Amino acid sequence: MGKLFKIAVRNLMRYKRRTFLTASLITIGVIFVLVFISVSGSFKAMMISQITDSMLGHIQIHKKGYVAAIDNLPLNLNLRPQAVAKLEDILNNDADVEAYSPRIKFGGMFSNFVETTNIRLNGVYPDREFKTIPLLASRISAGKTTIEKGGILIPVLLSKGMGVKIGDTVVIVTTNKDGSVNGKQFTVSGILESATGPGGRDGYVHIEDAQELLRMTEMEISEVSIRLKDFDRLHAADLKIQNLLAGELNQQGKPIFEIHTWEKLSPFYHLSRMIDLMTFFIKLMLIAIVLISIMNVMIMAVYERIREIGTIAAIGTPPKKILSMFVIEGFCLGIFGTVIGNIFGAVIIYIINASKITFDFAMHQGLILSANIKASDIISISVIVIIVSVIASLQPAFKASRMEPITALRHV
């Protein structure tokens, strides 16, 4: 086998310019794919992080039917304390869960005593919410980075539109699930930058204030937002929680809970899928480049060496070894292009990161592009290129191995 590799490499070196050009094409393809994957992956990861860490969380759990009616913020579809206790028990014992935050979501009227508008609010336990949604603190552009009882964090658009500043007193009027109206005064404790996605323009109050405002006799929860320790375990953790909660049924024998990953809650998931699709097509282009360039060069190699093939076949070289000789040549070409492509790709990714290129995403400006490539991506691209190189060599190699020595020896 070693000799076959030696012959293959020497044959490649025999036509240095052609080998160099073909390898360059593969190298450029590999570099392009690696850089694209790293940049688009970085953009995608940052986009997902902005969405999940600013508002949504990685997974949300609601009472069955809540998400279908989420635009109405239905108070009659809140989770009862017993259900919440069961849920908390499961989440407290789940090794994948880093933090979770129960929320009461409700809508109301916001008044500054001069004007009135509508507002969507989240009643939260501040410490748990900040742990679950770590970018929330960074969204508070003015005021305290906490949510005290009696205080309210209002969205910046509302603050500007209503002319409300930090320290101003405002009134929130809301209707509880029984239809009775209640109001409560709050002091504006912070101004909140908008976040991208659902709930990104909601205000925040302390959960106990929300309970009081809604005249809840017991703590009813609209949703529980969960943050995982490892985002890559999203689907595994989701499945695990689904399985654990599957046995929790109501009196009618129907599931109490519904579990959704961020993907099902945010339209930006489709954007991330578009990025995946683009990556797929870029990979397809790479496959086409490798396939065509290697097949072309191997067809040429076979055509140029017909008499040589005739000689080695006449000497008694088994057809299998002739086939291997040419396949190994294509394989070596693929390896060469891949290795050089990986090295240059890594260098370009390093340069991109060192250049600290910034980009804007929705309301967020100046996000630094942090191009990252996983080892698994490098391995998978390398494997794809090498396999395609071998496949591209097969047809010419097969043709060489099937050549009649007598015909090949006569070739001029």
Partner 1 sequence: MELIVAENISKDYKVGEIVIHALKDVSFEIEPASFVSFVGPSGSGKTTLLNLIGCLDKPTEGKLTVAGTDISMLDRKESAAFRGNHIGFIFQDFNLIPVLTVYENIEYPLLMVQNVPATERNDRIHGLLKAVDMLDQKDKYPDQISGGQKQRVAIARALVTNPKLVLADEPTANLDSQTAHAVIELMKKMKDELKTTFIFSTHDQKIVGEAEIVFTLGDGKLKDQEVKGGMKNG
The residues that touch partner 1, with contacts defined as CB under 8 A, are 3, 7, 10-11, 13-14, 307-308, 310-319, 321, 404-406, 409
Nearest residue (CB) to partner 1, 51 versus 306 = 306
Which of 200, 219, 198, 201 is closest to 209 using CA atoms? 219
Nearest residue (CB) to partner 1, 163 versus 319 = 319
- Tokens for 374, please give them: 């996983």
Nearest residue (CB) to partner 1, 146 versus 317 = 317
The CB-of-393 to partner 1 minimum distance in angstroms stands at: 17
Nearest residue (CB) to partner 1, 2 versus 253 = 2
Angle at 15 between CA 344 and CA 34, to 5 degrees: 20
Greatest pairwise CA separation for the chain in angstroms = 102
Q: What gap in Å lies between CA 412 and CA 394, rounded to an integer?
A: 24
Q: What gap in Å lies between CA 293 and CA 23, rounded to an integer?
A: 9
- Tokens for 227, please give them: 């943050």
The CB-of-3 to partner 1 minimum distance in angstroms stands at: 5
Nearest residue (CB) to partner 1, 299 versus 409 = 409
The CB-of-20 to partner 1 minimum distance in angstroms stands at: 17
Nearest residue (CB) to partner 1, 107 versus 405 = 405
Which of 245, 283, 262 is closest to 381 using CA atoms? 283
- Tokens for 340, please give them: 């050089």
Nearest residue (CB) to partner 1, 375 versus 412 = 412
The CB-of-332 to partner 1 minimum distance in angstroms stands at: 13
The CB-of-52 to partner 1 minimum distance in angstroms stands at: 58
- As a dihedral over the C-alpha atoms of residue 201, residue 205, residue 211, residue 214, rounded to 10 degrees, the angle is -50
Nearest residue (CB) to partner 1, 254 versus 320 = 320
The CB-of-316 to partner 1 minimum distance in angstroms stands at: 2
Phi first, then psi: give them for residue 349, nearest 5 degrees. Answer: -60, -40
Length of the chain: 412
Q: What gap in Å lies between CA 336 and CA 30, rounded to an integer?
A: 11
Which of 40, 36, 134 is closest to 359 using CA atoms? 40
Nearest residue (CB) to partner 1, 13 versus 278 = 13
The CB-of-16 to partner 1 minimum distance in angstroms stands at: 12
Which of 400, 395, 398 is closest to 294 using CA atoms? 395
The CB-of-294 to partner 1 minimum distance in angstroms stands at: 19
For 223, how many CA atoms within 13 A lie in the half-sphere containing its CB?
28
The CB-of-336 to partner 1 minimum distance in angstroms stands at: 17
Angle at 11 between CA 383 and CA 339, to 5 degrees: 30
